[in-house]
């Protein structure tokens, strides 16, 4: 494994470290879990190992379909080597069904199918009780991305959504919504961060039971088992 350097940043579920190569970083996936902007904290046993493996699987799927990501290789159970990006200061949420905050904001019933998908932009790492929603004009005012970059981001989000929905359908999982983050790498905008049960809502297609962090948020049982189930289906383990 490349030598781990200084801690660059730490989030809810990961730590990112520098390496001796300025173009590469190491991501460490944690078992710690947080919800409601840190008001609820706990641990999900084995979550870090599951999320690391799920990221390898899904980022490889994107790369195989011509979508560049920051992922290079999984080093061990909890560490992955990635391209060191300059992260954009906003996240993109792609919603295929009504869930979470969208139901509260709009009054739409939970589970309602959204055609076309709803695409939202929110500020990252904001010191506020909610993730502030923004639009393209806010992003341009902040000089966070150019119109050309936003066109690419929008197209990429919908393309990733199509790929993930089709793939997950094959393993009896419905993609309800998920978050994407992007970074600049040598002038290119690429997909970064993670795609895991921490950052996506995965429902069993037959039972509509959540297989993701919502089980932790809602105090449901079998949280760790739900994370493991997602990985088992991806690995073809029954």
pLDDT recorded at residue 34: 81
pLDDT of 57 above 70: yes
pLDDT for res 12: 87
**DSSP string over 217-230:** HTT-S-HHHHHHHH
Q: What is the pLDDT of residue 3?
A: 84
Looking up tokens 């809602």, which residue turns up?
218
Which tokens in the block code for residue 196? 């895991």
Give the dihedral of Cα atoms 90, 199, 10, 149; nearest 10 deg.
Answer: -30
Q: Which residue has the tokens 């790929």?
A: 163
**197 touches 222 (CB < 8 A):** no
Give the predicted TM-score (pTM) of the model.
Answer: 0.93
Q: What is the pLDDT of residue 37?
A: 61
Q: Match 């993701």 to its residue by tokens.
A: 212
| All domains of the chain in start order, with CATH | 7-83 (3.30.200.20), 87-222 (3.30.470.20)
Give the pair of three-digit tokens for residue 58.
């899904």
Nearest to 119 by CA among 162, 56, 148, 89: 162
Q: What is the pLDDT of residues 10-54, one digit of tens each?
A: 988 999 999 999 999 999 999 988 876 666 788 898 999 999 999
Q: pLDDT at position 124, please?
A: 84
Q: How confident is the model over 166-204, as pLDDT tens digits?
A: 999 999 999 999 999 999 999 999 999 999 999 999 999
Contact (CB, 8 A) for 190 and 183: yes
| pLDDT at residue 125, as a whole number | 66
């Amino acid at each position: 494994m490349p030598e781990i350097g200084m801690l660059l940043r730490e989030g809810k579920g990961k730590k990112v470290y520098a390496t001796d190569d300025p173009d590469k970083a190491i991501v460490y996936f944690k078992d710690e879990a947080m919800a409601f902007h840190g008001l609820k904290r706990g641990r999900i046993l084995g979550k870090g190992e599951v999320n690391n493996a799920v990221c390898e699987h899904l980022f490889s799927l994107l790369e195989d379909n011509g979508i560049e990501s920051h992922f290079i290789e999984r080093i061990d159970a909890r560490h992955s080597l990635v391209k060191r990006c300059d992260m954009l200061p906003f996240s993109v949420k792609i919603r295929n069904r009504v869930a979470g905050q969208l139901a509260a904001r709009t009054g739409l019933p939970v589970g309602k199918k959204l055609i076309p998908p709803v695409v939202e932009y929110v500020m990252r790492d904001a010191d506020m009780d909610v993730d502030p929603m923004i639009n393209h004009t806010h992003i341009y005012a902040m000089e966070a991305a150019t119109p050309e970059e936003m066109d690419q981001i929008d197209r990429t989000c919908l393309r990733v959504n199509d790929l993930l929905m089709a793939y997950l359908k094959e393993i009896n999982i419905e993609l309800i919504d998920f978050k994407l983050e992007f970074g600049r790498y040598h002038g290119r905008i690429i997909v970064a961060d993670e795609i895991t049960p921490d950052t996506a809502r995965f429902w069993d297609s037959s039972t509509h039971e959540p297989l993701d962090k919502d089980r932790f948020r809602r105090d449901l049982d079998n949280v760790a088992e739900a994370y493991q189930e997602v990985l088992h289906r991806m690995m073809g383990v029954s």
